[in-house]
Structure 1
């Protein structure tokens, strides 16, 4: 993990359900002393409805897992990081942020003018489509160049990775399967390549759809491997082509997300040496 994960990557985690996986994730971050922020007042999912949890994630006094809050009307304002969204109040007369606190704000004018310290813009960089099959109409999208134009006094940049900001808690067979793989182009702009299945008339044969998309990814990777960083997530996906194993949609999303985070971390660690790993 220490070789794959940059300490400059700091996830913001909003719990959505009472989950043993979340507890194990937080314990792993704490054990390896990697910083992440856990939102104490989640606004989506079912976690916010439980006064008592089966899997407690109570933060220790000294931990690399830091407390975060979504800014709403009623806040304790005792966190190390605050997340503003479109429902956050326009004025914060009751808030008294210290100079050490980080504030993640939407890329909107009314938040930029707030007189709070250490503002970090949260951009929705991933270009979502109405349906999964629609990603096949434009296979390559610009994602971001935010990392290239940071001011010296900047505290960082943030995004929703390869997912959009919209939360949905639904699952099931899909008419189409797409693999979204981020990469740096020759100018170090971050882009996303979409590899979409072909047999999208109905939701049958999820395994077949996955390998239709994976075959396109495999061909693209081996044509461009000299310019691509082989992350752990990407290596795992490519390995399924060799084993012909269908891991399930949740695992597929996990590895594409792992690839994205390792890729960004490698750039932050090594700058223009991202393609050689670190």
Structure 2
């Protein structure tokens, strides 16, 4: 049902690895686009999922990172290191410049079983559906909403379909509002004719190899607003100081103090997930674990929040 889309950076993979049990129990299927040349962290992540019996989709022709434009290393990796992993399936990314020839080459290598197409800019829906029918190929189709309009998605209505929406507005931290809407897709995906939904968690679809200096530190925390039709919102807890890149540790504690106050308020709707409990412990210790660790906790919280909501919704 839920397909969270990750880029395979260190803390993204750690968030998946540490959430493997939640992912399995909730029936989530993470989509992972590998961006680092080394496969060691990716293998540990996928092993954790496979050990739990949780499924994952691995993009085999990434748009970003060290494997962009060269999918042979990933092809070899699938055949060797992932040979024993029964629950990791290939995902073929369809971009503006993808061709049917390239798609055919990838399918020839990975086979027709358990195929997933991730549509993110490809425009020739009619040609693709005709080609898939002629070659007797069935697949699940994942659509990145910003790059696939409804008329495009309509061509694949007879196949399992998933809609991925980017609910995270990319800005410099200082420009974030204190609170804004994240998404209602967890409520409306079936109205869109979809069998599942996804997002880019609290990171967003925009990709960069490295971050710039943090003039402001922000902790991004999602929650379900039960008093507003169960729409998901996002808090941006920001540091007070935002004028220089100095003292990220002190700025983190400023942002963390706001988070703790919000969590402890009587009317708080922030779920006390394992990640929130970790934030509370960091506040007690007045400890800054690094911005990557903070991002990891934010993603884990998002996963656990949706897991709790969907479990209740299923009752």
Does residue 162 of the first structure (1) align with residue 202 of the second (2)?
A: yes
Distance 1:80 1:202, change over 3 A: same
Q: CA deviation at 1:127?
A: 2.4
Deviation at 1:64, TM superposition (A): 1.5
The answer to whether structure 1 residue 38 and structure 2 residue 58 are counterparts is: yes
Matched, 1:70 2:111: no
- Alignment coverage as a number of residue pairs: 269
Q: Give the equivalent residue in structure 2 for 1:253.
A: 295
Aligned to 1:140: 179
SS in 2 for 1:168: coil
**Which range is displaced more, 28-37 or 2-11?**
2-11
Question: Are 1:215 and 2:257 counterparts?
Answer: yes
Query: How far did 1:61 drift?
Result: 5.9
Distance 1:122-1:211 versus aligned 2 partners, 3 A rule:
same
- CA distance in structure 2 between the partners assigned to 1:203 and 1:190 by the alignment: 31
Which piece of structure 1 moves more, 210-219 or 226-235?
Answer: 226-235
CA change 1:67–1:180 in 2 (3 A) is same
**1:52, distance to aligned residue in structure 2 (A):** 4.6
| Deviation of 1:4 (Å) | 3.5
Counterpart-to-counterpart distance in 2, 1:195 and 1:188: 21
Bigger shift: 41-50 or 198-207? 41-50
Task: Indicate the SS of the match to 1:44.
Answer: coil
How far is the alpha carbon of 1:255 from its aligned partner? Answer: 0.5
| TM-score between the two structures when normalised by the length of structure 1 | 0.86
Residue pair 1:174, 1:206 contacting (<8 A) in 2 also: yes
In structure 2, distance between residues paired with 1:2 and 1:16? 20
Partner of 1:81: 116
Where do residues 93-242 of structure 1 align in structure 2 (5 Å cutoff)?
93-96=130-133, 101-107=139-145, 108-115=149-156, 117-129=159-171, 131-135=172-176, 138-151=177-190, 154-186=194-226, 187-224=229-266, 227-242=269-284
Task: State the distance in 2 between where 1:123 and 1:113 align.
Answer: 17
Q: Matched residues in 2 for 1:161 and 1:218: separation?
A: 21
Q: Note the C-alpha offset of 1:13.
A: 0.1
Q: Residues 86, 154 of structure 1: CA spacing in aligned structure 2 closer, same or farther, 3 A cutoff?
A: closer
Quickly say closer, same or farther: Cα 1:224–1:103, change in 2 above 3 A: farther
Match of 2:83 in 1: 60
- In structure 2, the gaps of 5 or more residues are 1-18
More helix by share: 2
Distance in 1 of aligned mates of 2:274 and 2:37: 28
Secondary structure of 1:25 counterpart: helix
Contact 1:23/1:56 (CA < 8 Å) preserved in 2?
no
Q: 1:15 to 1:89 in 2, by over 3 A?
A: farther
How well do the aligned residues superpose, as a CA RMSD in angstroms? 2.6
What is the alpha-carbon distance in structure 1 between the residues aligned to residue 31 and residue 56 of structure 2? 6
TM-score normalised per structure 2: 0.77
Q: Which stretches in structure 1 are left out of the alignment for 5+ residues?
A: 274-278
Compared CA separation, residues 259 and 271, structure 1 to 2 (3 A): same
